[in-house]
Homo-oligomer: A and B are copies of this chain.
Amino acid sequence: MARGTPETVPDDGLTTKQRRNRPMVIVNQGEGKGKSTAAFGLALRGWNQGWSIGVFQFVKSAKWRIGEQTALEALGKLHEETGQGGAVEWHKMGSGWSWTRKTSEDDPARAARDGWEEVKRRLAEQTHGLYVLDEFTYPMEWGWVDVDEVVETLANRPGFQHVVITGRRCPEPVLELANLVTNMTKIKHPFDEGQKGQKGIEW
């Protein structure tokens, strides 16, 4: 998308600069591919801005390491060594959040709540410039994390923190709060033709 000129200018008393610099809640949802991949692509942009990047994977790919994790952590290490870009932290629920000793095997609902509590703490402390809450729609959908609390927390988060949420179906109150919502729709997928996932494409 081009830097772009807005088609309408709202009567909200804000200057263009104020409007430009608004922390965003972004949702990538739908049945198609690219929801998480686009979120990690956005993390590349954030890294380049020098933001601290916090990735929290609530379900998917949590037991194995996907390529994006290795690549983004390599960029985080580069930041530590050279100062280029921003810091990168990557946390996974499936293998147990790094800040606890518990694994999610026994109680994924509890693990999801633990993850959300940590995200809340970090939002309050303004730890990151960009939060990727990967597959976070599922714990909300399944009632493991309270949707109203998510909306309230995101709506009242301090400072300048962008939040990206991915997953198939995002609860309506979060969509209403979000500034940017994109549906990824499957038109054609190789699994339909009996193909299996392959390295570099699916992980």
CB within 8 Å of B: which residues of A?
A: 1-10, 12, 16, 19-22, 24, 26-30, 32-42, 44-49, 51, 60-61, 66-68, 70-72, 74-75, 78, 84-85, 129-130, 162, 175, 178-203
Contact = CB atoms under 8 A, between A and B. Distances in A.
A160 to B, nearest CB: 10
B197 A1 contact: yes
A60 to B, nearest CB: 7
A93 to B, nearest CB: 15
Contacts of A202: 1, 3-4
B32 A44 contact: no
Contacts of A175: 187-188
Closest 9 CB pairs of A and B: A48-B67, A45-B67, A37-B41, A34-B38, A41-B41, A181-B187, A10-B194, A44-B71, A38-B38
Scoring A7, A8, A9, A41 by chain B CB atoms within 10 A of each residue's CB, the highest score goes to A41
Given A47-B71, A48-B67, A184-B184, A200 B41 contact: no
Given A6-B196, A181-B187, A181-B189, 6 more contacts: A1-B197, A6-B191, A6-B195, A42-B200, A49-B67, A162-B200
